[in-house]
Amino acid sequence: MTAPLVLTGHPGVGEVVEGEALVSAEGFSARYDLDRSTGTIARESHPLYGRSIAGKVLVCPLAKGGFATSWALLDLKSRRLAPVAMLFGWANPVMVQGAVLAGVALMDRLSPDPVAVIRTGDRVRVDPRAARVEVWPMAVPTTTNAR
């Protein structure tokens, strides 16, 4: 196994978790971008439209949303539709509050920029207290020439 790519920053919130990355070049709002009954991105103009965030490590440049974010994340978590972690370029205090309330790991302001170096499908380990994220690239299927 090769060494992971390591991202570092200031300490985040939540427990150590691992999951598959789901990366967007656009921000995320738990209230306005999401269908909370299914855990899928429901805003048609969002790059992740139709994708489920359940059990994923959601990677976005910024957290959007207001007070409803806290209860939206808690609602998702109660129905096992929440991401295991969220990595942002920048997270607003309401998103951090929601992550703490729901027990979802969250980190932001990492270096290098997670949106630039993590790809959807990569395997990611998030350790908020150690201020460390490890990334293993998704396995690329090899083709064989059957001739």
pLDDT digits (tens, 9 = 90+) for 91-106: 999 999 999 999 999 9
Question: Are the C-beta atoms of 82 and 54 separated by less than 8 Å?
Answer: yes
What DSSP character marks residue 144? -
Q: Between helices 93-102 and 68-78, what is the axis angle to 10°? A: 30
Grade residue 145 by pLDDT with cuts at 50, 70 and 90: low
Question: What pTM, to 2 d.p., does this model score?
Answer: 0.91
d(CA 138, CA 40): 22
Question: What pLDDT band is residue 71 in, cutting at 50, 70 and 90?
Answer: confident
